[in-house]
Amino acid sequence: MPTTRRATLKALAAAPAALAAPARASAWRPDRPVRLIVPFAPGGNTDLVARVIGPHMGERLGQPVVVENRAGAAGSVAAAAVARARPDGLTLMIGSNGPMAINPITRADLGYDPLRDFAPLGLIVRTPLALVLHRDQPARDVAGLVAHARANPGRVVFGSPGVASTGHLTLEMFNAATGADITHAPYQSGGALTPDLVAGTVAGAFVEVATVLPLHRDGAVRILALTSGGRLSVAPELPTVEESGVPGFRAASFVGVVAPAGVPQEAMAALHDALKAAVAHPEVRRRLEETGSQVASEEEASPAGFAAILRRETEWTREAARRAGLLRS
């Protein structure tokens, strides 16, 4: 009996360690660098976000997170490639409006379905748009712009980074919500639009706030309002479109991370934890917020939360594209 009792106690004492060992052994870690694909050229907001979070994700994962830019077809080239990538957790993509919500609504034969072929890791930021005018335009607020546009139907011209861009679709929704008759002038990119906005070639635009906030503060352009749900800490003096008299009007560029569908749950959990830790880093958060971006809430940053956002953004895009006559056939 004493021998049996000692053996039993010894087995019970060893049980916690035995149970813990498989958990430690099964915790997923990449065995080589992780690729984080940016579906656009270097220099834009998505590229900035990727390069800010990448190093901190790598620290958590124990392998470098290497940012790769793969531009083409408004993000669809990279998205199609990542959708077909091996689902081993070693290939991720920055998921944003173009490849995840706009292209599937406005372009045919993409070769991927964003809601079927990707597994969301989490939202990182939303970046609201600024309703901005050239400094010589007469309107001083949203109501003034709407009145001016109605009095001059078709003669007030807003530029955008391109047909079916977030700026274009936001303009269509603004026209629908206010009855303003603002004409759309598409450019090849935001970089091409900005000089003409400063020069007054176009009256205004809906563009990401980070692009025009310095120009606003220099007096080159005038921001009337932001499309966010609340005022931004970097520019608390700027009202929202909603509080300026257009109820429920919100729009934003979003940036998150997705993986190919089929990545094992253990890997998804480790990747999500790495992303969460990266965004929580004080320096990362500071750099994201100083661009005018709003860091995602805990719910939005979850895989389920980001998936819900993608569904909502797809429906918003569908309605805006319908109004613009851009629904794919």
Dist. CA 149–CA 50, nearest whole Å: 39
**271 and 315 share a domain?**
yes
Residue 317 counted as domain residue:
yes
What's the whole-number mean pLDDT along residues 253-263? Answer: 97
CATH of the domain at 208: 3.40.190.10
Q: Which residues pair with 125 in a beta bridge?
A: 255, 295
Q: Could you tell me the CATH number of the domain that includes residue 60?
A: 3.40.190.150
1 belongs to a structural domain = no
- In a domain, residue 290? The reply is yes
Q: How confident is the model at residue 50 (pLDDT cuts 50, 70, 90)?
A: very high
Instruction: Give the tens place of pLDDT for each residue, 22-32.
Output: 334 348 999 99
Domain count within the chain = 2
Q: Is residue 329 part of a domain?
A: no
Specify the pTM. Answer: 0.85
Model confidence at 314: pLDDT above 60:
yes
Its domain, for residue 188, covers 128-226
Regarding whether 121 and 139 lie in a shared domain, the answer is no
Q: Is the pLDDT of residue 86 over 60?
A: yes
Residues 213 and 268 reside in one and the same domain: no
Question: Across the chain, what does the average pLDDT equal?
Answer: 91
Cα gap 187→207, rounded to integer Å: 12
Determine the Cα–Cα distance for residues 261 and 35; give it in Å rounded to an integer.
Answer: 16
- Residue that is last in its domain, among 191, 226, 261: 226
What are φ and ψ of residue 197, in 5° steps? -65, -45
Residue 159 and residue 109 share a domain: no
At 35 the pLDDT is 98
Closest by alpha carbon to 47, among 76, 30, 71, 64?
A: 71
Inter-CA distances, 80 with 71, 72, 113, 123, 125, Å: 12, 11, 9, 20, 23
Contact (CB, 8 A) for 294 and 127 = yes
The per-residue pLDDT for range 217-253, each reduced to its tens digit, is 999 999 999 999 999 989 999 999 999 999 999 999 9
